[in-house]
Chains A and B, each alone.
Chain A
Amino acid sequence: MTIHRTIKALTVATLLGMAGQTASAQEAIRIGACLDLSKAYTFVSPQVAQAAQDLAKYVNQSGGIGGHPVEIIVRDHGNEPQRGVECYEQLKREGVFIFNFLSTPVTNAVLPRAMKDGNIVMQSFVGRGDAVDGEVFKWIFPVGPTYWQQAANDVAFIKGRLGGKLTGAKIGFIYLDYPFGQEPIEVLKTLSKAEGFDLKLYPVPLPGSDQASAWTQMRRDKPDYVISWILAGGHVVAFKEMKRNGFPIDKYLSVNWLNEVDIRNIGDEAAKGILRGTNVAGGQEVPLVKTLLENLYSKGQGSGPETSVRDVYYNTGLAIYAPAFEAARIAIKKYGWPLNAEKMKDGYESIKNFDGSGVMSPITVTAKDHGGGGKTRVEQWDGKSWVPLSDWSADYTDVVWKLIKENSSKFKVE
Chain B
Amino acid sequence: MFYRLSGVHHASYMSDSRLYKIPADRNLALFFLALGLAAPFLFGSLYLNSYVLPWLVWTAAALGLNMVTGWAGQLHLGYAAVMAVGAYSAVHAAKFGVPWEFALLIGGISASVIGSLFAFAALRVKGLYLALTTLAMQFVMDWVLTHSPTISGGSHASLQAPTFALLGQKITSDTGLYYVAFGWCLLVTIFMLNLRRTGLGRALVAVREKDYAAAVLGVNSFYYKFVAFATSSFIGGVSGAILVATFFFLAAPEQFSVAVSIQALAMIIVGGLGSIIGTYFGVALILLMPSIVNGIVAGGASTLGLKLNVESLAHIPNAVYGALIIIILMIEPLGLGKLYGNIRDYLILWPFDQLKK
Contact = CB atoms under 8 A, between A and B. Distances in A.
Given A75-B294, A78-B290, A128-B155, A179 B302 contact: no
Secondary structure of the A contact surface, majority rule: helix
Contact of A128 (B158, B247, B255): B158
Contacts of B298: 17, 75
B288 to A, nearest CB: 9
Contacts of A35: 310
A89 interface: yes
Interface stretch (A55-63, A106-114, A149-157, A327-335): A106-114
Contacts of A400: none
B341 interface: no
Interface residues of A, number: 54
A17 B299 contact: yes
Nearest to B307: A303
B10 interface: no
A204 to B, nearest CB: 13
Interface string A48-82: 01100100000000000000000000111011011
B163 interface: yes
B315 to A, nearest CB: 6
Interface in A183-225: 183
Nearest to A11: B296
B253 A89 contact: no
Query: Could you say which of B146, B158, B250, B318 has the most chain A C-beta atoms within 10 Å of its C-beta?
Result: B158
Contacts, number: 126
B270 interface: no
B46 A112 contact: no
Contact of A76 (B162, B253, B317): B317
Contact of B313 (A76, A78, A178): A76
Contacts of A10: 296, 300
B314 A407 contact: no
Interface stretch (B49-57, B199-207, B222-230): B49-57
Nearest to B287: A82
Interface in A258-277: none
A13 B248 contact: no
A79 B247 CA distance: 17
Contact of B299 (A18, A78, A87, A128): A18
Secondary structure of the B contact surface, majority rule: helix
Given A82-B287, A183-B156, A112 B296 contact: no
Nearest to A304: B309
A86 interface: yes
Contacts of B310: 35, 37, 46, 49-50, 53, 74, 76, 304
B23 interface: no
Given A17-B300, A105-B254, A109-B248, A85 B156 contact: no
A85 B250 CA distance: 12
Contacts of A130: 155
A85 B248 contact: yes
A182 interface: yes
A179 B146 contact: yes
B303 interface: yes
Contacts of B253: 178-179
Interface in A356-414: 407, 410-412, 414
A144 interface: no
Contacts of A37: 310-311, 313-315
Interface in A12-65: 13-18, 20-21, 35, 37-38, 42, 46, 49-50, 53
Given A89-B50, A109-B248, A129 B156 contact: yes
Contacts of B315: 37-38
What 5 pairs between A and B have smallest CB-CB spacing? A17-B299, A37-B314, A76-B314, A105-B254, A14-B299
18 contacts: A13-B296, A15-B299, A20-B303, A37-B310, A37-B313, A49-B310, A75-B294, A75-B298, A76-B314, A86-B51, A89-B49, A93-B45, A105-B254, A111-B158, A112-B160, A179-B156, A304-B309, A410-B155
Interface of A: 10, 13-18, 20-21, 35, 37-38, 42, 46, 49-50, 53, 74-76, 78-79, 81-83, 85-87, 89-90, 93, 104-105, 108-109, 111-113, 127-130, 177-179, 182-183, 303-304, 407, 410-412, 414
Given A10-B296, A14-B300, 10 more contacts: A10-B300, A14-B299, A17-B299, A42-B311, A82-B54, A83-B291, A182-B146, A411-B160, A414-B160, A414-B162
